[in-house]
């Protein structure tokens, strides 16, 4: 399945954002990934970063997804800078599955900061 079909068949809320069916406050976009502000921020600054290809969570990632995931990770500093997270630093979190409380079954990384966060 190519990326266009993958996005068309994505039943999650992030699929709707990728298709432009619901708005998102975008921070960064390229051919492989999209970043936008979380609708219910859990810190002063809270953005999400997703691969455009739907990967449910890291347990579902395939060897061929390595390029996408490496690209996503490599872009985090640039996205953090665009979101205003460079000076104080940030937390990077990905909830994977039920025990972690993952709500949206499309892999996403939370970038949190803009204030001092509670220590994990
Ligand atoms: P999870 O709990 O799955 O790790 O995180 C899902 C995140 O997606 C939550 O922080 C939630 O606020 C965010 N979210 C859910 N629906 C929407 C939406 O329609 N737009 C945006 N921008 N964020 C959303």
pTM for the model stands at 0.98
Please report, for the chain, the start and end positions of each structural domain, with discontinuous segments joined by +. Answer: 3-113
Q: Is 110 a catalytic residue?
A: no
Is the CB of residue 69 less than 8 Å from the CB of residue 50? no
Is the CB of residue 82 less than 8 Å from the CB of residue 26? no
> Per-residue confidence of the chain (120 residues) as pLDDT tens digits?
799 999 999 999 999 999 999 999 999 999 999 999 999 999 999 999 999 999 999 999 999 999 999 999 999 999 999 999 999 999 999 999 999 999 999 999 999 999 999 999
Cβ of 13 below 6 Å from ligand 1: yes
Homologous superfamily in CATH for domain 3-113: HIT-like (3.30.428.10)
Ligand 1 atom with least separation from CA of 25: 22
Cβ of 12 below 6 Å from ligand 1: no
**First-residue to last-residue Cα distance in the chain:** 39
Cβ of 92 below 6 Å from ligand 1: no
Q: Per DSSP, what are the bridge partners of residue 45?
A: 113
């Amino acid at each position: 399945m190519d990326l266009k079909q993958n996005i068309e068949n994505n039943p999650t809320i992030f699929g709707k954002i990728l298709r432009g069916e619901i708005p998102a406050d975008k921070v960064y976009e390229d051919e492989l990934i999209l970043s936008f502000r979380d609708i219910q921020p859990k810190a002063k600054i809270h953005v999400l970063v997703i691969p455009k290809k739907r990967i449910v969570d890291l347990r579902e990632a395939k060897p061929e997804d390595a390029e996408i995931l490496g690209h996503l990770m490599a872009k985090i500093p640039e996205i953090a800078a665009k979101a205003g997270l460079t000076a104080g630093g940030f937390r990077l979190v990905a909830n994977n599955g039920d025990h972690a409380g993952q709500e949206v079954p499309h892999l996403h990384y939370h970038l949190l900061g803009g204030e001092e966060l509670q220590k994990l």
